[in-house]
Chains A and B, each alone.
Chain A
């Protein structure tokens, strides 16, 4: 059974750095072609793809936030970590962890339930 679960702070202050952890099970990020990443959804708005990291350490970032984002992985712990610097009110959103089964698949086959992060002083 494949599961992904997001963890991290529910509230961050403006200008702070957000660090979120995705802990997954049922698959390995050392399997060829696999990627794990993040998607967010501000309240009432569209989903926004943020970043992906692949089994071979290749990182990919969405264009709008790439200067503020870093994605990394700890394969031994089955974790993927996302950091987003200089948080502002517009970064208030539900953040989802997702899996891309293979780089030949252009969709996300498993999602976490999401974690709501609110930016507030």
Chain B
């Protein structure tokens, strides 16, 4: 199965909002509400910040929000903070071989 497509990098100033896109197909992102987003700071384990398109795990800031339209999911970070500088990648369940597919990751830079 093909990987999901994400922009390589996104940047913004503190306080701004940024959006990261994640484009798949009708067999993954578009077919199910099982999109998840992960944050990874250098040298640390990835952490889930959004699951099932728009749900946030306990303890995750409400500055992170998720949505989906058609075959494209989006992660929005509002009120950008220095601590948000990290890599973000999306994932989706797919019924092709009952597997998961992921994006290549987006590096977020806080200017």
Contacts and interface: CB of A to CB of B under 8 A. Distances in A.
Interface of A: 4, 39, 44-49, 60, 62-64, 96, 105-114
Interface stretch (B11-19, B77-85, B93-101): B93-101
Interface of B: 1, 3-4, 32, 34, 36, 38, 43-48, 51-52, 57, 89, 91, 93, 96-105
A35 B76 CA distance: 29
A31 B34 CA distance: 23
A111 B43 CA distance: 12
A106 B51 CA distance: 8
Nearest to B55: A107
A45 B104 contact: yes
Contacts of B44: 113
Q: Which of B46, B89, B104 has the most CB of A within 10 A?
A: B46
B102 A46 contact: yes
A114 B89 CA distance: 15
B105 A46 contact: yes
B40 to A, nearest CB: 8
Contacts of A4: 45
Contact of A106 (B3, B34, B89): B34
